[in-house]
Amino acid sequence: MRLMAEAPPLIHLPQLPRELRFAFVEASWHADIVQRSRDAFFAEMARAGFGPDAIDVFDVAGAFEIPLHVQRLAQSGLYAAVVGSALVVDGGVYRHDFVADTVVRALMDVQLKTGVPVICAVQAPHHFHEHVEHRKFLQQHFGAKGTEAAQALLSTVAGLRGLDARR
């Protein structure tokens, strides 16, 4: 696993139209960690020329609620791509690996059914500890994942637009 101190150079991408819109759906649980993903995503999107006015943020309770919101956003026709971000931890009624797997599969289904790219920044550490060191590590990790989510989104949207242009 690689944590980045500073963002790497952007991948060379074809120019994307500035009128494109994107959605970011984040779970409210462990907001101090999950929001690091959003902040890094926004920073990387700004580096690519897409400011905060191009990105709508939607808060949901937890990871389980993300796929339905993502599906509705993808079906709306308003967004070129949608991101889902959450931290899934041990405890509760369901095992964290079950929840994470269910959410990831549902997000994959949404993008395959709608044709709208869905970028997954849902993370499920093997063990979650409430101590300061672990939370600090996860905040850094989520920052890296937010940057990676933006890069994946940009390259996926550009790649699909390139395929569409060949028709």
Q: At which residue do the structure tokens 């990790």 appear?
A: 141
Q: Is 64 annotated as a binding residue?
A: yes
Torsion of CA 91, 92, 97, 103, to 10 degrees: -140
Give me the catalytic one of 18, 38, 47, 95.
95
Residues facing residue 19 across a β-bridge: none
Q: Is 23 annotated as a binding residue?
A: no
Q: Is 87 annotated as a binding residue?
A: yes
Q: Is 29 annotated as a binding residue?
A: yes
Residues 151 and 134: their CA atoms lie apart, in Å, by 26
Calculate the CA 88 to chain-centre distance: 14
Q: Is 134 annotated as a binding residue?
A: yes
Residues 135 and 103: their CA atoms lie apart, in Å, by 22
Residues facing residue 24 across a β-bridge: 57, 83
- Active-site residue 95, yes or no? yes
Q: How far is CA 13 from CA 9, 45, 48, in A?
A: 11, 13, 9
Q: Is 89 annotated as a binding residue?
A: yes
Please report, in range form, the residues annotated as the binding site for 5-amino-6-(D-ribitylamino)uracil.
Answer: 29, 63-65, 87-89
Annotated binding site for (2S)-2-hydroxy-3-oxobutyl phosphate: 134
Residues with active-site annotation? 95
Going by the annotation, the residues of the binding site are 29, 63-65, 87-89, 134
